[in-house]
Structure 1
Amino acid sequence: MKTSKLILKACALVAYAFLLMMHLVLKDHFQSLQVFFYAVPLPFLIFFGIIVTLLCYRWKLLFIALIGITLSISVYWFYTAYNFKSDGDIPNETTVVLFWNAADAWEFPVEVLMAHIKSAQPDIIGLVETEYASEDDLQLLSKTFPSYEFKILEGFMMVGVKGNITAVNYQSKEASYKINFVEANLNGNTRTFLITDIYQSPTMNKEKAIGAALQFALQNNAEIIMGDFNTPQKSVHFKRFTPHYESLRNYGQGFTATWPFGIPLLELDQIFTNNMFTPVLLQKFYQPESDHALLVGYLKE
């Protein structure tokens, strides 16, 4: 019996050490190991660390060391996953971007979208997983907001702009990614942005999918990238964005996680901008119609 308990504790310690290594060092550098990084977010790892610590309460030095490690990981998680930024003053001349994964409902949540358009008055609207959006929804949006042009895109996406859509270019790879590049005229200015929805499988090669979105954005001079990347923000693959685009995550409020509804677990949805804009603020709104947060970003030219 004692031998079995020792083996259990040893296995738990090894698993805990391995998962810590995955999050702090290895991350998703290797596709063969990335599933551990994606499937066990830090909040789960902290909870697992508490269980391992309690299992080892009889071993004083190890028990104290595990308490220290678990507390350190908890502080690290909170420090990197929570923003204390307040609303502050939003400049009058800002470009407002709204992005939302509107899935998780049997009908398109057009009323919710309309409420946020009235509130934020976004210049650019991008939505993914809108398979339930209909022509009736499109007509309702166009009638309610006559200064906007709305369009249902390939790949179950929808776009809206406070102006006119001048071009759309769609690219996809089955079970990997969907991308729509949009060019629009907003108040006499040409604006270019990219909407992406990356496949959710944790075993898929996310490096290729994220790389495809970035390459497509660079090739088309997209000023803004928005999407559900289905990849934690801590992924090493986002480092390729840094020379070209800045994420609005550091300009947000509260927990940076966007999924699932009401639980600060994973940051899957993001808005990026190139150096044409300076990020001002990122707001997140949770609606029961979707398990993803709705993002509203404010950019200063």
Structure 2
Amino acid sequence: MPIRVLFWNVGDELWSIGSMVQEIKRVDADLVALVEAESYLSTEQEFWKNTFPGYRFQTGKNGFMLLSRLPTTASEYGNFGRMGRYLKINLKADVSQSGASSISEAFVVYLVDINSDILRSRKEALQKLAEEVAQEKENPVLIVGDFNTPGDSVHFNPLRKLCRNSFEQAGEGYNATWPLPLPVLDLDAIWVNSFFQVSSSENRWTWYSDHRPVVADLLLQTTPASGKPAD
């Protein structure tokens, strides 16, 4: 099943909520994951339900917001000590089989927000994230977030053993995401394990936050690229 994913750090509310909503609608993603959305969370839930019919709307502590066309089966929060936090979400999607049949396949999403503290290393946080993902290695895993760490950092090495950066796999153009209007660092990203094929990846240009929205088109499979069958 093709799945379009949008991740966006909307922390600096440079324009109105209406502008942010317009950008999300333009992308038309199946899964929208936002961090630092505290300034939008005070808006009545009825607004989100009316604005995005067909989506399940979920908010939580730490400024996380999720809009999903796919069924959510469970969610839980975790942290990286002093260096950030994550929301783990279990979702389901229909996966095409041979012929016209399809099955419902569960997959795991980690919505990540790592702190920007310049006095602390991101190494421990990214190591802990890799350890979390390793526990799900038999399942499809999608990681979206603001890592506050450039993509070429050695601190990503443990995660690279398990997952791929979608922009590195299928992106085109300039990959830096922060700070607008002249981004110089690729801090925001979408990562996937081998159960996902990356069809395309794009870092979009907007004026509605100091971070660029990150978009990826993915194909969920029942077997990983290595050919190992899923449990």
Task: Evaluate the alpha carbon distance shift between residue 217 and residue 160 of structure 1 in structure 2; reply closer, same or farther with a 3 A threshold.
Answer: farther
Deviation at 1:262, TM superposition (A): 2.8
Deviation at 1:126, TM superposition (A): 0.9
- Check if 1:158 corresponds to 2:65: yes
- Check if 1:244 corresponds to 2:177: no
- Check if 1:97 corresponds to 2:13: no
Question: What is the percentage of aligned positions where both structures have the same residue?
Answer: 27
Q: How far, CA to CA, are the matches of 1:189 and 1:135 in structure 2?
A: 34
What is the CA deviation profile of residues 221-279 of structure 1, one whole-angstrom value per residue up to 9, with x for unaligned ones? 46100110101112101121222101012222221100010324111011100111111
Higher RCO (CA < 8 A, seq sep 6+): 2
**Alignment root-mean-square deviation, CA:** 2.1
**Which structure has more helix as a fraction of its residues?**
1
Q: How far, CA to CA, are the matches of 1:215 and 1:267 in structure 2?
A: 23
Q: How far, CA to CA, are the matches of 1:94 and 1:193 in structure 2?
A: 16
2:112 alignment partner in structure 1 = 196
Q: How far, CA to CA, are the matches of 2:83 and 2:134 in structure 1?
A: 19
Residue type at the aligned position of 1:229: F
- Check if 1:295 corresponds to 2:214: yes
Q: How does 1:217-256 map to 2 (within 5 A)?
A: 217-220=133-136, 221=139, 223-250=141-168, 251-256=170-175
Task: Evaluate the alpha carbon distance shift between residue 113 and residue 132 of structure 1 in structure 2; reply closer, same or farther with a 3 A threshold.
Answer: same
Larger radius of gyration: 1
Does the residue aligned with 1:136 lie in a helix, a strand or coil?
coil
Q: How far, CA to CA, are the matches of 1:289 and 1:130 in structure 2?
A: 12
- Check if 1:119 corresponds to 2:38: no
Q: How far, CA to CA, are the matches of 1:160 and 1:167 in structure 2?
A: 14
Query: Which ranges of structure 1 fall in alignment gaps of 5 or more residues?
Result: 1-92
Deviation at 1:133, TM superposition (A): 2.1
1:269 alignment partner in structure 2 = 188
Residue type at the aligned position of 1:256: N
Q: Give aligned pairs, total.
A: 208
- Residue from 165, 169, 181 that aligns with 2:88: 181
Which stretches of structure 1, 4 residues or more, deviate above 6 A after TM superposition?
Answer: none
- Check if 1:136 corresponds to 2:55: no
Task: Evaluate the alpha carbon distance shift between residue 152 and residue 130 of structure 1 in structure 2; reply closer, same or farther with a 3 A threshold.
Answer: same
Contact 1:171 1:179 in 2 (8 A): yes
**Which structure has more strand as a fraction of its residues?**
2
Deviation at 1:143, TM superposition (A): 1.5
- Could you state the TM-score of these two structures normalised by the residue count of structure 2? 0.82
